[in-house]
Amino acid sequence: MSYDGVLPVNKPAGFTSHDVVAKVRRIVGLKRIGHTGTLDPGVTGVLPLCLGKATRFVEYIQELPKEYEAELTFGYSTDTEDWTGETIKRLPPGQVHINEAELRRTISSFVGTIEQVPPMYSAVKIGGKKLYELAREGKEVERKARKVDIYEIELLQLDLAADYPTIRFRVLCSKGTYIRTLCVDIGLALGFPAVMTKLVRSRSGSIGLDMCLTLEQIEELHRSGRLAASVMPGDRVAAHLPLCTVSVQEAVAAMQGKTVPLPKDADTGAGELFRVYDPQERFIGLFRLDRAGGMLRPEKVFAQSLSRPDAD
């Protein structure tokens, strides 16, 4: 069976994102599969996979906000900024004293546009080499700070009386945000070393963890011929983009890669990339607005054909 759409996967611990892609390829017998955002092996949670023709949606889904639930432990730090690394500093037990009110104020101060320095153990490239490759060689290089957006932070749980206090929080952020670096920076703002000790991606765009399937479920559903019902249409996942409907004649032209007029009722305040549909609500593709000419230019056309209506 051929699949075209987005398969929401609950990535297990111990798998890289590429491992998950390889596993699903073997299960469904499909080579054309792409993931929409790397998760480290120890991180679990939402990993949408684009199957078949929907791989053309990858770049748009990657740009969507991500939500995570993270655990932060105060009192020690590691070279990777998370629980997988070597400890580089550890305070004696019971030496971290944090006031809850100050903690809440500090966490709230990170909401907005902030700057982060990518960790050495990351896939960012400098001079053609990935930082984690340099780190494994014992090298540390200067990294430029990058701007990221923190839309929401919510404190979910805290244990400030422990020898090494821990908190659990939810964060909604832009693409490219390093949650482990956020944990370290929260610790620094409070005057203590800190490390991320657990991370779950709970949402990617409109896809929540409750919508995701385990690899075992995917295998069983495919074996029983029921997996197709769990594969989401690509345009549904791209529902954050404004939509517009064109006439049948314009739809025919659009499928031929031609520009079409922007409908008068289109919402031009929500961006320049539109999902375009025909009058029967059939998804045609993604079109970009040329504001100067008031035309929609094809960026990705998905529908293949539509019969031209007979002339009156």
Mean pLDDT of 198-211: 96
Q: What is the bridge-based pairing of β-strands 166-173 and 146-159?
A: antiparallel
Burial classification of residue 284, based on how many CB atoms lie within 10 Å of its CB (0-12 exposed, 13-18 middle, 19 or more buried): buried
CA separation (Å) from 269 to 4, 97, 109, 174, 193?
A: 30, 48, 29, 20, 44
State the pLDDT at residue 68: 98
Specify the domain boundaries for CATH 3.30.2350.10 within the chain: 5-64+206-235, 66-204
CATH number for the domain whose boundaries are 5-64+206-235: 3.30.2350.10
pLDDT at residue 123, rounded to an integer: 64
Lowest-pLDDT range of 10-24, 68-82, 106-120, 193-207: 106-120
Q: What is the mean pLDDT of residues 186-202?
A: 98
Torsions phi, psi for 114 (to 5 deg): -125, 170
Q: What is the structure's pLDDT at 303?
A: 77
The Cα–Cα gap between 12 and 14 comes to 6
Secondary structure (3-state) at 206: coil
User: How far apart (Å, rounded) are the C-alpha atoms in residues 35 and 19?
Assistant: 10
Is the pLDDT reported for residue 136 higher than 80? Answer: no
Confidence of residue 221 (pLDDT cuts 50, 70, 90): very high
Q: Which residues contact 18 (CB under 8 A, 6 or more apart)?
A: 35
| 3-class SS of residue 73 | strand
Q: Report the DSSP beta bridge partners of residue 153.
A: 171
Q: Is the pTM of this model over 0.85?
A: yes
CATH number assigned to the domain covering 241-301? 2.30.130.10
Distance CA 249, CA 278 (A): 9
pLDDT confidence bin for 135, thresholds 50/70/90? low
Residue 146 φ/ψ, nearest 5 degrees: -120, 145
Domain 66-204 carries which CATH code?
Answer: 3.30.2350.10
Confidence of residue 120 (pLDDT cuts 50, 70, 90): low
Q: How confident is the model at residue 137 (pLDDT cuts 50, 70, 90)?
A: low
* Per-residue confidence band for 236, with pLDDT thresholds at 50, 70 and 90: confident
What whole-number percentage of the chain has pLDDT above 90?
71
Helix (H) or strand (E) holding 186: helix 179-190
Q: Is the confidence at residue 36, as pLDDT, over 60?
A: yes
- pLDDT tens readout for residues 75-119: 999 999 999 999 999 999 999 999 999 999 999 999 999 999 877
Residue 8 has pLDDT above 50, yes or no: yes
User: What average pLDDT does the chain have?
Assistant: 90
Specify the domain boundaries for CATH 2.30.130.10 within the chain.
241-301
Which has more pLDDT, 42 or 144?
A: 42
**For residue 121, is pLDDT > 80?**
no
Which residues partner with 298 through β-bridges?
287
> What are the tens digits of pLDDT across the range 162-189?
999 999 999 999 999 999 999 999 999 9
Q: pLDDT-derived band of residue 307, with 50, 70 and 90 as boundaries?
A: very low
Q: Which residues pair with 166 in a beta bridge?
A: 73, 159
Task: Report the pLDDT value the prediction gives residue 127, as an integer from 0 to 100.
Answer: 66
Q: Quick one: average pLDDT of 21-45? A: 93
Q: Please say whether the dihedral angle defined by the alpha carbons of residues 236, 240, 241 and 242, taken in this order, is positive or negative.
A: positive
**Nearest alpha carbon to residue 194 among 67, 65, 103, 114:** 103
Report, as an integer, the average pLDDT of 185-194: 98
- H-run or E-run covering 17: helix 17-28
- Active site residues per annotation: 40
Is residue 310 pLDDT above 50, yes or no? no
Strands 283-290 and 273-277: antiparallel
Task: Indicate if the pLDDT at residue 192 is higher than 90.
Answer: yes
- What is the structure's pLDDT at 2? 73
